[in-house]
Structure 1
Amino acid sequence: MAHWYSQTVDTVSASLTNHRSHYTLLAVAGVSLSVGFLLRALLSDQHPEGAVLHSPLATVRSAANSKAHPLPLDVLPGARDVQTPYGSVRVYEWGPEDGRKVLLVHGITTPCISLGGLAHALVDQRCRVMLFDLFGRGYSDCPPDLPQDERLFATQIFLALSSSPISWTGTGSGKFCLVGYSLGGGIAASFASFFPELLSALVLLAPAGLIRDSHISFSTRFLYSGGLPNRLLKFLSGRRLRAGPLSGPNPQHRKLHTSDVVAEEQPSTGNALAQELSRSYPHVTVPGAVSWQVNEHSGFVHAFVSSMRHGPILAQRQRASWERLGTHLSKQQNLSPEQRGSNGLSKEKVIVMCGETDPIIIQKELHEDVAAVLGDDVIFKSFSAGHEFPSTKYHDVAQIVSEILS
């Protein structure tokens, strides 16, 4: 009897111990699950399909003194806001309607005003110009549920072109020259690789898309590799972007950081003051417009982060587009001059420009890498300047573009 009682007590005790362990494990699992959901809610950055992060357009429209604004609404001629499924897109277009058509695409951190001086200089050469703010920059909204990759950028180009009162791509409209700067250069090369028959010329100004991975710092590669949750990445990137360019030009062959991207698209203080990006508002500068944009545009940080992650920047991500373009150009060489003209872009109408002291797009490496994918016949021009040369040497750049078009 005593033996049976002892066994029963032991059995009950063991059962209670097992139940306690089971409940403890359930409690730990429940807490872990709750913490996981909480962290996911805090760190994830998911947006519903079709969501839009709006530009500061409405706020600036209602402001009392918009003329002194860092980026006035009519900073360039021919402003219009195009309503699209991706949000509103700000477009500027002016110049003679029968002039040679030139579309300009700006860089990753600047609104399109950075190419305003070049656009004015091209109109002086009797060109018809069009510029637009990339999604999340200037006065263009940002679709946060879509990656900023070559597909989205090509779509935006067509949205801008189709909003024109004159035909840029239809039968009898002729072709247009596509000019891309920095990130815009990578966008332009990608677009040209898919739609070479639409272009009369391709001008790449310090183009992204062939930057060698070895030049990117470990911290920048880690940040934008996709390993960090979007909300945390946006917080870190936003804090860095709002700090502004903390340094001047960096030496070539140095590992590149996010801060270099911010700094190198902006001219030094002296060069910024010498700019004339807007003939209506001489006070407008790239640093002033970028500072306003970083602090006031709800979609800018997302646009920057998404472009760094998905955009046509690194060679390993974009080489296929350049090789596709190179294949088209090689085929063109076997055609007669008459056939080339009707079949689209050819090598003698592709020109690449860069700054001799650019620490992001290294002149020697750019020459080697472009020649490897597009051939040795592509025209190269260089300037005694850094990465910002399109916003400071715009008269010289416009002259070269005009010559290649004529």
Structure 2
Amino acid sequence: MPRSSTFPLLAVTAGLASMLSVAQASDDNSAVPGVEKSTFGQLPDGRTVDVYRLTNANGITMRIINYGGIIVSLKTPDAQGNFEDIVLGFDSLEGYLSDAYRKANPYFGALIGRYGNRIAGGEFSLDGTTYQLATNDGSNHLHGGDQGFDKVLWDAKPSENQNGVGVILSYISPDGEEGYPGKLETEVTYTLTESDELDIVYRATTTKPTPVNLTQHSYFNLDGEGSGSILDHYLMINAEAFTPVDDMLIPTGEIRPVDGTPFDFTEPTPIGERIEQDNQQLLRGKGYDHNFVLKREAPQSEELVMAARVWEPDSGRLLEVETTEPGLQFYSGNFLDGSLSGKQGSDYEHRSGFALETQHFPDSPNQESFPSTILNPGETYRSHTVYRFSTRNGL
């Protein structure tokens, strides 16, 4: 698919040269390009959780577990070539299974499904039938329910293609799981490319009409996880409108222009510059927790378009996001409260990480004016998102 113009990338080392090798991962930083597999822990029922470490020729490493498809670490260089982990999470499976984590439920690094974001009242009607889903966010359904895709054990296998190395995750969600109709067969491919990208392709098929809205829920801090606030990060979102929410964070159905509001990120702006303004939408979200309507020339196009850029001035790290999705949920870590400690032992305080979730709009099954999320038998759901990592000395 065509790519829109972007900021300069890091230097690309030529050639994959038969990179793929599945081996037991060590804890040092000397990994060669390829895929390394090891055991991450055991679930309470005895099933083994594996971790796959992806490494490209530029030294970027990423670790993914097959429980929840969680990205547990992602190490990229800063402008001086120093590598640091830039995603929030834990070093052990126990962190993701703890009572404190379950209570906070931040979805660190997880695959989200069947439906990312909220569905009002936990119900929707389809072809004359009303379906009741779990209400795990007050009276609403959030991120797939009590036992969403973030809490299942996926089948996993290493992969290699012309762009890089990765992991293919697959899961069969039975008919009626969490209240959704149809058996949904889902495949998600993570690829770490030689162009310093995390390339994610989602595919799904169903036996009955059902809503599908898959996404990835990593929290980023481009100065390094555990390093404190993300409010000084400069953010650009390629959106001239957003979907305002009611006091339950459900979209009202309005498509509101960002011009003249704290939601205008059409030019790079520090995340914290307007986050404390006396604005009804900011107060409802306790900061930014909103869906942005991405700008694209052809609204129904399935081509990748630029969704967002984020730059952190101290490290010089730049994150760019491209997607085929119509929306982007920007979440500024408003509900982080210091109750969870990360990989360096630092408490994850208020707004110490941000998420950029590519998606269809929240509550689309109940909003006729929003792009449809209904997948029918015989169709294939396909979504594509790219997170690109590089550095710049300034904007």
Give the TM-score normalised by the residue count of structure 2. 0.27
Which structure features the higher share of strand residues? 2
Which structure features the higher share of helix residues? 1
Structure with the larger RCO, 1 or 2 (CA within 8 Å, 6+ apart): 1
Larger radius of gyration: 1
